[in-house]
Amino acid sequence: MVLALRGTTADTATSATAYTAAHAALSTVFDPELDEPITDLGFVRSLAVDEARVTVHLRLPTSFCSPNFAYLMASDAKDALTALPWTEHVVVQLDDHHDSDLINAGLAADAGYRGTFRHEAEQDLDELRETFRRKAHTAAMERCLTALLRAQPDRQVDRLGEVTLGDLPDDERTAALRRRRAALGLPDVRTAVVLVSHDGTTYAAADVPLALRRARSTRVSIDGNAHFCRGLLRTRYPGSEQDQTERPEGAEPADAVLRPPTAPTAPTFIPLTQLKEHLS
């Protein structure tokens, strides 16, 4: 990611603080499908702060990534930066996408989603957000319950419908689940049942195994897509791996063999150029 700070020498510290605040604001923007911050995925190509003006360029793994998702991330990035108390002018541009001109023009004019895509807007943006909030909650729920099963192998799967938030460990998985529940308006109390639908409906014991399998398929899809998209971005933009943060849930144990001995904690990633060799 390219960093640019402008101003006098006396303003350097202030500019650095402003940059940190702008980057933190961007870290609250998530890819709706991958459920990860755009800063962790390496989607922020550059961030420039010039006093009260902020300019951001975004990049995506391919030129044909869904325009809906692309617009949502770019729009959310602009909203997050505009909400900072010191910004007066925010420019967010999407680079190298087949709809870059359309999306960038819509953002500049504050035309909104439907105003940008007009008749091509098949779904309201709020509806799209809600769809992916539900998927993110489902995946977070499955991660917590699967971790619980691994930690307590004697626990019966059909009894998972009785697990409450108070039964979960105080770790990042549980914190992530609580955030996802809050986004859906689900209760955040120790007695709240973990395995629920997006509207809070619980499952009968006989239905729990199937509900967990469906949740697992959602989680695997999200993690697999995230892992694949990271690789596509690295291939499209060499060096972008420096801007990515590893997400262990998207990695497979076999990926560890690709870590160089000198960097045992490096991100697990199979470059597309090595994929054929890796699978042969």
Q: Where do the structural domains in the chain lie, given as residue ranges? A: 2-122, 125-280
- Could you give the angle at the alpha carbon of 137 between the alpha carbons of 131 and 140, nearest 5°? 140
The whole-number pLDDT of residue 127 equals 84
% of the chain residues with pLDDT over 70: 82
Q: Report the C-alpha gap between 206 and 208 in whole angstroms.
A: 6
Q: Which residues of the chain have pLDDT under 70?
A: 2-13, 121-124, 247-280
The whole-number pLDDT of residue 279 equals 43
pLDDT in tens, 20-49: 999 999 999 999 999 999 999 999 999 999
The whole-number pLDDT of residue 5 equals 58
The whole-number pLDDT of residue 123 equals 64
Q: Report the C-alpha gap between 199 and 219 in whole angstroms.
A: 19
How many CA atoms lie within 13 Å of 116's alpha carbon, on the beta-carbon side?
25
Q: Report the C-alpha gap between 223 and 217 in whole angstroms.
A: 10
Record the pTM.
0.81
CATH code 3.30.300.130 for 2-122: yes
